[in-house]
Structure 1
Amino acid sequence: MEVSEESILFDKTYTCPCCATKFKAKAVRVGRNTLVRLDDDLRPIYKYVDATKYDAIICTKCGYAGLIKNFDAISDRHVRDIREKITAKFKGIDETKTYYTYEEAIERTQLALLSTIIKCAKTSDKAYICLKLAWLTRGMKEALDKESADYKEKHDELDKTEMNYLKNAYDGFSEAYMNEKFPICSMDENTLCIIMAETGRKLGKNHDALRYAETVILSRNATDRMKEMARAIRAKCKEE
């Protein structure tokens, strides 16, 4: 049976921590989206819907945005900053769509990044959103029509954009790895090191990628699956 994206989404109600407005945003129904596999940088691949498209939520009244897991994390001082720097320029957002396109999901996540910067969140929080933007860009790239005349041009442009987001994520996580305590963005050290190893490899930082991969391989707490992923990344680094 064919399952449409709209059929496993629903309108979830949130309360904005900035203006106390109740609003709705699309969310994926629990248990309806099957995880198929993970990319080498732990990007989740689902059977029906790219769930990363629904990670960012936006208040329809004031424009404050954030990822679901830390949407409520904002101080009174930064509420004033959001009102001055976002709400004053916010022109609203259409929440009547039955699902979000990749373009819409990227715009929503970019606004979440802007809000995160304005409220002076941790470096790791900003890096994590950049990683999400890289994953969304990759999903958009994979969804391109390969038969279209401008496929290569669009693919190359999205590939460049993805790499820019990955670089920002890598730089932010590198700083967080040295200065923040685990868990970082709800991730333990082994999980973050897998992401850092694969992202570093893609960016041509093979020496650092090997170091992060070795950290997982030598860890007493890493699962066998994580060690296997780290060994695969190490092998690719050495081949390159």
Structure 2
Amino acid sequence: MTALDALFDKKCDCPLCGNSFTSKKLRSRFIKLIRTDTDLCPVYSPTENNPLLYHILVCPACGYSFSDDFSSFFPPDTKEAIQEKVCSQWKPHSFSDKRSAEDAIKTYKLAVYCASLKKEKHIVQAGMYLKIAWLYRELENTEQEQRFMKLAIQEYEEAYMTQDYQGTQVSEIRVLYLLAELSYRAGNKKESGRYFSKVIEGQRRATETRIVEIAKERWQDIRQDING
């Protein structure tokens, strides 16, 4: 009996051009979480069995890149914008095999660009920027990690102000916690303190009690540094 491969092929249809293709996914039995960083970055062992590597789907025919978080709706003129800015420049290329962190980063950057042209929700774009930052952390590229972390902060701020996280799997308390933690990591202590306070203030109406507990522990750890 042959050993089961960690990866399997998922059949996909491109929402833009209709092309059918396959993309790799990890079988759940091979996903081993060993810890979660304070910005909620999951760390897996071995690193090659990181499901985030395969989160983005890239159509090899037209280059449209997306995830299951994307809306199926294309606002007026956005299909034309993607066809002009992405598809017309695309040289047929496949990301349908095993991916390295570098490969995955390319797919996320393609998807973020498509998302901006498609006018996807800020919360969706924020999540992709954050995942790029996490992948750069794995590669120990601090400069790029910081760059994409700051882009994530901008999008989470927009998501919070417009409340476009509503109706998604991302709660208000999670948005606030990420803004607090990421602001601290980006060196903006004042903003970090303001968002941590909002998390604590909103704990009674929060459904994600674990996030509140993490925030309390984190706030205890860094309050002296922020207030100092």
Smaller-chain TM-score bracket: 0.7 to 0.9
What is the one-letter code of the residue matched to 2:5? S
Asked if the contact 1:41–1:199 (Cα under 8 Å) also holds between the matched residues in 2, the reply is yes
TM-score (norm 1): 0.82
Asked if the contact 1:53–1:102 (Cα under 8 Å) also holds between the matched residues in 2, the reply is yes
Output the CA distance in 2 between the equivalents of 1:90 and 1:136: 24
Q: Quick one: higher RCO (CA 8 Å, sep 6+), 1 or 2? A: 1
Q: Would you say how many aligned residue pairs link Structure 1 and Structure 2?
A: 219
Structure 1 match to 2:103: 104
Output the CA distance in 2 between the equivalents of 1:62 and 1:111: 12
2:12 to 4, 11, 14: 14
| Percent identity (aligned) | 27
Output the CA distance in 2 between the equivalents of 1:12 and 1:30: 14
TM-score (norm 2): 0.86
Is residue 218 of structure 2 the alignment partner of residue 233 of structure 1? yes
Any idea what SS the aligned residue of 1:26 has?
A: strand
Equivalent positions of 1:43-122 (< 5 A) are 43-48=41-46, 49-70=49-70, 72-75=72-75, 77-95=77-95, 97=97, 99-122=98-121
Asked if the contact 1:24–1:95 (Cα under 8 Å) also holds between the matched residues in 2, the reply is no
Output the CA distance in 1 between the equivalents of 2:73 and 2:138: 28
Any idea what SS the aligned residue of 1:69 has?
A: coil
> CA shift at 1:116, angstroms?
0.6
Asked if the contact 2:59–2:94 (Cα under 8 Å) also holds between the matched residues in 1, the reply is no
Any idea what SS the aligned residue of 2:39 has?
A: coil
Is residue 196 of structure 2 the alignment partner of residue 198 of structure 1? no
Q: How large is the RMSD of aligned CA atoms in angstroms?
A: 2.2
> CA shift at 1:12, angstroms?
0.6
Any idea what SS the aligned residue of 1:70 has?
A: coil
Asked if the contact 2:32–2:45 (Cα under 8 Å) also holds between the matched residues in 1, the reply is yes
Output the CA distance in 1 between the equivalents of 2:133 and 2:188: 18
- Worse overlay, 219-228 or 110-119: 219-228
Structure 2 match to 1:124: 123
Asked if the contact 1:209–1:237 (Cα under 8 Å) also holds between the matched residues in 2, the reply is no
Output the CA distance in 2 between the equivalents of 1:200 and 1:123: 17
Output the CA distance in 1 between the equivalents of 2:168 and 2:137: 21
Mark the CA change 1:118 to 1:159 in structure 2 (over 3 Å): closer, same or farther.
Answer: same
Output the CA distance in 2 between the equivalents of 1:73 and 1:46: 33
> CA shift at 1:184, angstroms?
6.9
Mark the CA change 1:207 to 1:184 in structure 2 (over 3 Å): closer, same or farther.
Answer: farther
Asked if the contact 1:128–1:185 (Cα under 8 Å) also holds between the matched residues in 2, the reply is no
Which ranges of structure 1 fall in alignment gaps of 5 or more residues? 142-157
Output the CA distance in 1 between the equivalents of 2:189 and 2:38: 15
> CA shift at 1:104, angstroms?
0.6
Output the CA distance in 2 between the equivalents of 1:96 and 1:55: 12
Which ranges of structure 2 fall in alignment gaps of 5 or more residues? none
